[in-house]
Amino acid sequence: MAEIVGVRFRKAGRVHYFDPADIDLQINDGVIIETNRGLELGRVVIAPRQVSANEVKEPLKPIVRKAEPSDIERAQELESKVEEALIECGKQIAELKLPMKLIFAEYNVDGSWLTFFFSADQRVDFRDLVRRLTKLCKVRVEMRQVGTRDVAKLIGGFGQCGRPLCCASFISKFDPVSIKMVKEQGLPLNPTKLSGVCGRLMCCLGYENEQYRAIKAKLPRKGQRVSTAMGEATVVGSNVLKETVMVELESQVTMELPLSEVAC
């Protein structure tokens, strides 16, 4: 058996697993972790627990220590410096005439590493930009290109439902969403109503897709002959959410019946 703890580095970010190193940790505790970007501040989202050793695919890095008030204060100070870094980076991008859109930036917890996130329609040679920013900011600089869905996740905003974007609130990884799901749920193929702020199909289209598939598998097909308490009938439609069937009787009367009252 192996003991693991789940940690997130930002809200709705991916959960990373570490060795709790015998530190008493609870959910929402701040922790300091050694990563490829130096020391970083994370938050416990899965309390330490035992798992089978074969579930751990590679050696886990240990938690360095619990975060102290000084770590939190330092992180807040660095967060206030991010805007200055973004402004300076924007100036350098304009001077170098690079085809990229700056999205977001963040420091690691000790301020030794600064990461800029950007979007672009093509690959960008940003080596000169990194050299300039390293000299100006006096820290190690990393540029990271992200896709349109990640842009929405980093920036945040509100969806058509009026609620904060799911990707920025609780979705930790993006699952595929397809037009097949739209058709499965009988929704109109209207791009303006189906697309999120990222321009892609809305993530929420996948939330109920499996339920739709399961219910539709039980419903009789359109045109199928069925038996009802009123006699033989032909299926002319159905309502997946209500689990009802629209049938046309021999008398050409159309009725909506619960699935339980229809025999195939």
Within a domain: 225: yes
Within a domain: 213: no
Residue 190 sits in the same domain as residue 229? no
Task: Give 56's pLDDT tier (boundaries 50, 70, 90).
Answer: confident
Residue 79 sits in the same domain as residue 132? yes
CA–CA dist 153, 93 (Å, integer): 23
Find out whether 112 and 139 touch, Cβ atoms under 8 Å: yes
Within a domain: 211: no
Task: Give 201's pLDDT tier (boundaries 50, 70, 90).
Answer: very high
Residue 113 sits in the same domain as residue 178? no
Within a domain: 212: no
Within a domain: 55: yes
pTM equals 0.77
Q: In Å, how far from its chain's centre is CA 55?
A: 24
Reported as a single tens digit per residue, the pLDDT across 92-139 is 999 999 999 999 999 999 899 999 999 999 999 999 999 999 999 999
Within a domain: 94: yes
Residue 57 sits in the same domain as residue 92? no
Which pairs with CB-CB distance under 8 Å and at least 24 residues apart come from 163-168?
165/196, 165/197, 166/203, 166/204, 167/12, 167/198, 167/203, 168/11, 168/12
Residue 83 sits in the same domain as residue 95? yes
Residue 54 sits in the same domain as residue 98? no
Last residue within a domain, chosen from 19, 48, 66: 66
Within a domain: 192: yes
Last residue within a domain, chosen from 96, 118, 146: 146
Please give the pLDDT value at position 212.
92
Find out whether 148 and 120 touch, Cβ atoms under 8 Å: no
Mean pLDDT in residue range 138-147? 94
Reported as a single tens digit per residue, the pLDDT across 150-186 is 999 999 999 999 999 999 999 988 999 999 999 989 8
Amino acid, single-letter form, for residue 12: A
Residue 154 sits in the same domain as residue 142? no
Tokens of 217: 């598998």
User: What is the residue-averaged pLDDT of the chain?
Assistant: 92
Answer yes or no: is pLDDT of 24 > 90: yes
Element containing residue 51 per DSSP (H, E): strand 38-51
List of residues 6+ apart from 58 with CB closer than 8 A: none
Residue 173 sits in the same domain as residue 230? no
Rg, Å, the chain Cα set: 27
Please give the pLDDT value at position 36.
87
Q: Is the dihedral of CA 191, 194, 200, 205 positive or negative?
A: negative
Residue 223 sits in the same domain as residue 198? no
CATH of the domain at 135: 3.30.300.20
Last residue within a domain, chosen from 146, 175, 191: 146
Answer yes or no: is pLDDT of 249 > 80: yes
Task: Give 51's pLDDT tier (boundaries 50, 70, 90).
Answer: confident
Reported as a single tens digit per residue, the pLDDT across 68-93 is 999 999 999 998 899 999 999 999 99
Answer yes or no: is pLDDT of 53 > 80: no
* Packing angle, helices 127-137 and 69-96, rounded to 10: 130
Query: How many alpha carbons lie under 13 Å from residue 216 in its C-beta half-sphere?
Result: 13
Alpha carbon distances (Å) from 130 to 25, 136, 141, 238: 38, 10, 6, 59
Residue 19 sits in the same domain as residue 38? yes
**Which residue range(s) make up the domain with 241?**
219-261
Residue 81 sits in the same domain as residue 134? yes
Residue 141 sits in the same domain as residue 156? no
CATH of the domain at 235: 2.30.30.140
Counting the structural domains of the chain, the total is 4
